[in-house]
Structure 1
Amino acid sequence: PNDVFAYLSHCQAKDAKKFSPKIPINALRNKFLHDIVHNDQIKPENHFYTITAPTGIGKTFGCLAFANQLIKKLPENKARIIYCLPYTSIIDQNHAEFENIIRFIHQDAYDLKPERYLLKHHHLSEKIIRNRTYTDMNEIPSYKDYLDDCLFVESWESAFIVTTFVQFFETIIGHRNRLLKKLHNIVNSVVILDEFQNIDPEYYQLLRQTLDVFGKRFNTYFLLITATQPEILDIKKSGSIELIDSEQYMKHSLFNRVDLQIIKKGQFIEEFIQDFCHTFSDQNCLIVLNTKKSAIKMFNELKANTKAYKIVCLTTLLTPGDRKSKISQIKKAIHKNERIIVVSTQLIEAGVDLSFKTVYRDFGPVDSIVQVAGRCNRNGEYGIKGGKMIVVRLYNEKIVYYYAQVYPSILSQFVEKTLIDDTYESKDFADISKKYYEQFDFQGKSNSLLRALQELNYDTSMRNQIPVKDFKLIQSYNDESVYILTTPEAQNNMERLLLLRKDLNEKADNEKQADLFEIEKYKMLLKDFRKVKTAGNAFDRNLVSDEILSMFF
């Protein structure tokens, strides 16, 4: 078992000051873990569990403590753990936390065969197994070895999987062979769905029914975790267990970290920038916008007019490698108390461990507003209600609101009916979220897919049905990629990759094995420079070459 408490004791011995149980926040985190593991409703006959708790309480440790407690009570005392997140951009951080725990528990055995204990899997992840053993010491990896490794990774043969919602849900509701290879390993497992509020509400009914079937018919256990629990599970039907008294944590004074102001009058983005440049004087700030164009505009204007601050921009136009680098730079700047302003799109909402004194958020769904509030005074370093967050409504030169370009109008109506006051604070977020989600009743798309599943309709368009092949958790994406080569090494690797692919066509089949393996190696070396091109967001080469180069360099 991956003993969280043994690891925490190790951390306390290593850094007694940081992990001291006498520190109020640590005492509350310890109570949170205690409440989970001593919940007597964790038992094999209960398949559905939830945790609703504030950012910073230690949900990563909590979910692992829950899984261990449940597995101890299962007949065979073992089960695969599958931990799912909404975005690839936050997987590395969570994977690293789990790796620290698992490496501590298993010591040398982990380092010898790491993927046996912990595996990271998404469309950009590496599919080469470390420390492969050979009977012949002089043997080098072959293309067949690579295919075997791919099968191991894509079949989820490890004891602990860290993956995405797309990988998980498009396996249990899907028809593609490549995804279905891991279906049998989801059966009898413990599935942890973190930041579940990021799922499209139109799929709530579909996922409610699907999870119910997998839980009860395939002996699978589900834990849903969020700071804003949407009504995904049918509590009466699923009998879901709330592992903690969420209200005592959500409304605890230590987590009452943010004063939230709602500005209901709209304004041109240029007016906001001008006002901000003239009035802002705090040490650091985060500005979260709804579109990449508005973020880039904000970034360029602030960089030109705000010389006293370091200005950083985070959007999905950055490659994964550059994004990680920027986040690392931001962390260091905040730690050194440097004056910094970060402009970001919604990618910062979930799982990014950054904390700012002041946060602005362009108008959006309530769950997004609450998630962004989790980047404000995140660790309580500015004291109770020491963080300041302002929700604004920005529109472009045509007086078109930016939120209207990315969110359905019905969600905007729900937000307006929910946020009727001008000011709130963190302790109000649980009530706000409940009021918001009570308005949700999206069933059309879910019911069309459910009818197709019931009739095993995988590929035929029919009235009142959406064939299973058309189910996509993220609506607009495909497999086209653009590589943004921001270093000489990356350029050299790409030249070598293109040369190998060209030479491949001129070789006999029996001569291709080594080159095929080399090609895959170079593709993995270039993964941090790869940006997936989506159908709904055509890649604008001029935008990259002219406007956002300063975001990279």
Structure 2
Amino acid sequence: MAERLWAHSARDSDGLRHGLADHLRGTGRRAGAFGEIFGAGPLAAHCGLVHDVGKGSCEWQRGLIRAESSNGPVGVPHKHAGTWLLDQQRLGILAAVVFGHHGGLPSAARLKAELQFADHHPLVAEAIRRVGEIVPEIHLQGPIALPGWLGDAKVVAADPYALDLLVRMVYSTVVDADFLDTEAHFAGVARAVHRMSAADLVDRYDRRRSELLVARLSEQGPCPVDGLRQEVYEQAVAAAGGPRGIYRLPAPTGSGKTLAAGGFAVHHARIHGLRRVIVAVPFMSITEQNADVYRQLLDRDGEEPLVLEHHSGVDLDGDYANRRWQRLAAENWDAPFVVTTTIRLFESLFSNKPAAMRRVHRLAGAVIVLDEVQALPDRLLIPIISALRTLTERFGSTVLLASATQPPFEVLSPLRATPIRDVIAEPKPLYKALNRVRYEWRLHPKPTLAEIAGEAAEEPQALVVVNTTKDASRLHQLVEQNRSALHLSTRMAAAHRRDALAEVKRLLDAREPVSVVSTQLVEAGVDLDFPVGFRAVAPADSMQQAAGRVNRGGRLPYGRVIVFDPEDGSKGVKALYGAALEATRDRFGPECAPDDLDALEAYYRARFDFHNVEHVGQEIQKERLAHDFPRVAELFRMIDEWTVPVAVPYGDVDELQRILAHLRSGIPGAGVQLRALRPYLATVPKGAAIRAVEEGLAAPVVGDLIEWLGDYHPKRGIEITSPDPQELVF
């Protein structure tokens, strides 16, 4: 029977089952190719080769036949055999790769216990014997080739977290390879691989950028800051000639940072032969805008898209992943230019679940652009920066840290001995030349939201930014008592936000009256240009980012930014921002504006101290050293994990229903459908989502995705109440 071992059930198209030997070798071949990029090709290939050896037992094979007829699970564990093999082959913690390839990377303690169980389990020896007859290479003939640095005691001592990242990388190659090989079986054809790499994009990027600049000049005329934007771009391209490593792009708002960062990335990729650019930004609204910019530069009609936008955040792991197609639908970032959120990037890197982690290996040998890095959460800075350092030193990547309010990350322990190269050699003159606003302060006495609404309504064109969706909704209603106003928050569908932003830009360009009330999603990367802006008191970097939407083109001598502390604003703001807000109050006000670079650096240092960044971050680092992968994932929580995606009836409702029906059906091709769903997605707090389902205002779809069945306001989107101030942001 050994020659008739199967890996997967028969596919619907022709009734053919997936041979186990074919699946093991196919997964090993793919994983090995992925691992070559970071010097672990043989290791990844071997882990892929043995990952499903446990399916060789007679009991598992009988279970597959039963499952095929009943359409149920096999019900027989199969991961112990390959795990035991890797342990016997002296690969240590890397045996976790096989044990966790479906359920998630285990802790080292759990792995030890499972290996003791495997020592005495008859199915393990049987499966290894039967599979060894048809795939003899599962038995190594000598030591397996490992990355060279792994055997260097000095290197390991200098970065003890490198092994943690190696396990994650190898796990990612195996999971992605397993999913791709399985998908190819059930689809009857392998997924197409992108022919172009990031290194091929330079000529297209530069040519199209020039064409767009010429078109803008002919439509809008010259802009006072055009020369400075060109200077920033040229410095970015020149810096791209440097070695791989960590770079810093401090560039004031309105200086063309998005184009400059992309230019650096593609030029650096060509010089070093890198395959991929991954741009990560903090908010979905920026993802949408930046992806549109990069599509204009790189994509062409009638050709395969080069830019992949990934931010949906539908959780396809954990308790939700009870269907094979859900796991196969997870994005794997197989594109030369990826635009995602920092949430998606770092949740993948520090997760322990397969659907999230299948894309981690794409970070190796890539240019990773972290835009608006000031938005990274302080409590997670140590593990984040530590991982970025390891990516550049051991996995062939380059990281570009971009922000108008650049934090001094070099003062934190992971980067104290690591060189950071500056893209802009002398940033202070650039900031001085692009100083386009004057701050006004409404702190004592504190104004009410109604007073701010009345003042904003008197301005021909004004932007008001507040800290919570609750305040944004109230303030929008107050402004509309005086005049029509637009609203922006993530309670609106992505297409709704895009339409609102397009209308805002139209009104601004036409010099027509326009009032906008927004959460802080508008602060970073959104290309708006108001003469006046109002900003509720927030950390200094947020206030400066809001100021970047004022007099952006430099057409006024100075724009006005009114900072106000609302008497009746949401009470949870202090708890939400914590020490960052206290450090701001201590340092900024009428005597010192948030655009003072020296004061801003002192603010960050104080903020890091107030938040005890070094100590707080060490809890995750300790668990990384202990290889407790589930605990790391539990501790590493970014803000979007308080929310879930919601499909809302905005736009083509018939198309939305078709997509949702496809997702609910379990028909193959769900990855394409999840991408098509993006324009319809808003977000709501997890608690509110649970209540909405219980009350019949929403219905589950797949994973943690829900369909909104309640009212949807034509300007404000989903309107909900929540007692938790942390659920009110964005």
Contact 1:533 1:539 in 2 (8 A): no
Instruction: Measure how far apart 1:374 and its partner are.
Output: 0.6
Of 31, 36, 43, the residue aligned with 2:242 is 43
Please identify which structure carries the higher helix content.
2
Contact 1:187 1:218 in 2 (8 A): yes
- Say yes or no: does 1:261 pair with 2:440: yes
Instruction: Measure how far apart 1:364 and its partner are.
Output: 0.5
Q: Secondary structure at the match of 1:323?
A: helix
Tell me the distance in 2 between the aligned counterparts of 1:81 and 1:351. 18
Instruction: Measure how far apart 1:486 and its partner are.
Output: 4.2
Instruction: Measure how far apart 1:540 and its partner are.
Output: 7.8
Q: Which amino acid aligns with 1:395?
A: E
> Is 526-535 or 319-328 further displaced after alignment?
526-535
Q: What CA deviation, in whole Å up to 9, does each residue of 1:80-135 have, x standing for no partner?
A: 111111112221211121122223xxx67xx3322xx322222269x9xxxxxxxx
Q: Which amino acid aligns with 2:294?
A: F
Report what 2:599 is aligned to: 432
Report what 2:475 is aligned to: 298
Report what 2:486 is aligned to: 312
Instruction: Measure how far apart 1:273 and its partner are.
Output: 4.0
Alpha-carbon distance change, 499 to 5 in structure 1, aligned in 2, over 3 angstroms: closer
- Say yes or no: does 1:237 pair with 2:417: yes
Instruction: Measure how far apart 1:290 and its partner are.
Output: 1.3
Instruction: Measure how far apart 1:477 and its partner are.
Output: 2.4
Instruction: Measure how far apart 1:352 and its partner are.
Output: 1.5
Report what 1:86 is aligned to: 282
Tell me the distance in 2 between the aligned counterparts of 1:68 and 1:529. 31
Q: Which amino acid aligns with 1:430?
A: L
Instruction: Measure how far apart 1:390 and its partner are.
Output: 0.8
> Is 188-197 or 345-354 further displaced after alignment?
345-354
Tell me the distance in 2 between the aligned counterparts of 1:359 and 1:318. 22
Which segments of 5 or more consecutive residues in structure 1 lack a partner in the other structure? 128-142, 460-465, 505-514
Contact 2:491 2:684 in 1 (8 A): no
Report what 2:587 is aligned to: 418
Tell me the distance in 2 between the aligned counterparts of 1:19 and 1:203. 43
Q: What CA deviation, in whole Å up to 9, does each residue of 1:179-205 have, x standing for no partner?
A: 221222211111110011111111112
Q: Which amino acid aligns with 1:36?
A: A
Q: Which amino acid aligns with 1:534?
A: P
Of 200, 205, 208, the residue aligned with 1:7 is 208
- Say yes or no: does 1:122 pair with 2:311: yes
Contact 1:202 1:445 in 2 (8 A): yes
Q: What CA deviation, in whole Å up to 9, does each residue of 1:27-76 have, x standing for no partner?
A: 2222222222334x8433x40100001112111221122223323432xx
Alpha-carbon distance change, 419 to 69 in structure 1, aligned in 2, over 3 angstroms: same
Alpha-carbon distance change, 358 to 171 in structure 1, aligned in 2, over 3 angstroms: same
- Say yes or no: does 1:272 pair with 2:451: yes
Tell me the distance in 2 between the aligned counterparts of 1:347 and 1:72. 33
Tell me the distance in 2 between the aligned counterparts of 1:37 and 1:389. 33
Tell me the distance in 2 between the aligned counterparts of 1:552 and 1:273. 23
Instruction: Measure how far apart 1:359 and its partner are.
Output: 0.7
Q: Which amino acid aligns with 2:231?
A: K
Instruction: Measure how far apart 1:214 and its partner are.
Output: 1.4
> TM-score of the superposition, structure 2-length normalised?
0.61
- Say yes or no: does 1:394 pair with 2:566: yes
Tell me the distance in 2 between the aligned counterparts of 1:317 and 1:157. 30
Alpha-carbon distance change, 276 to 48 in structure 1, aligned in 2, over 3 angstroms: same
Contact 1:50 1:225 in 2 (8 A): yes
Q: Secondary structure at the match of 2:565?
A: strand
Tell me the distance in 2 between the aligned counterparts of 1:155 and 1:531. 23
Report what 1:332 is aligned to: 506
Instruction: Measure how far apart 1:448 and its partner are.
Output: 0.4
Contact 2:491 2:716 in 1 (8 A): no
Q: Secondary structure at the match of 1:531?
A: strand
> Is 93-102 or 517-526 further displaced after alignment?
517-526
Q: Secondary structure at the match of 1:237?
A: coil
- Say yes or no: does 1:533 pair with 2:684: yes
Of 605, 611, 617, the residue aligned with 1:446 is 617
Aligned residues: 488
Instruction: Measure how far apart 1:496 and its partner are.
Output: 5.6
Tell me the distance in 1 between the aligned counterparts of 2:658 and 2:296. 35
Structure with greater contact order relative to length (CA < 8 Å, sep ≥ 6): 1
Q: Secondary structure at the match of 2:487?
A: strand
Q: Which amino acid aligns with 1:535?
A: K
Alpha-carbon distance change, 379 to 519 in structure 1, aligned in 2, over 3 angstroms: same
Q: Which amino acid aligns with 2:682?
A: K
The 5 Å alignment of 1:185-224 reads: 185-224=362-401
Q: Secondary structure at the match of 1:443?
A: helix
Higher-Rg structure is 2
Contact 2:223 2:553 in 1 (8 A): no
Aligned residues: CA RMSD: 3.4
Q: What CA deviation, in whole Å up to 9, does each residue of 1:139-197 have, x standing for no partner?
A: xxxx99x889846xx22221111111122112222211112212222111111100111
Alpha-carbon distance change, 27 to 371 in structure 1, aligned in 2, over 3 angstroms: same
- Say yes or no: does 1:346 pair with 2:520: yes
Of 356, 361, 364, the residue aligned with 2:535 is 361
Instruction: Measure how far apart 1:368 and its partner are.
Output: 0.5
Alpha-carbon distance change, 18 to 404 in structure 1, aligned in 2, over 3 angstroms: same
Q: Identity of counterpart residues, as a percentage?
A: 23
Tell me the distance in 1 between the aligned counterparts of 2:333 and 2:264. 21
Report what 2:667 is aligned to: 516
Tell me the distance in 2 between the aligned counterparts of 1:238 and 1:444. 20
Report what 2:552 is aligned to: 378
Which segments of 5 or more consecutive residues in structure 2 lack a partner in the other structure? 1-200, 317-322, 698-707, 719-730
Tell me the distance in 2 between the aligned counterparts of 1:55 and 1:13. 22
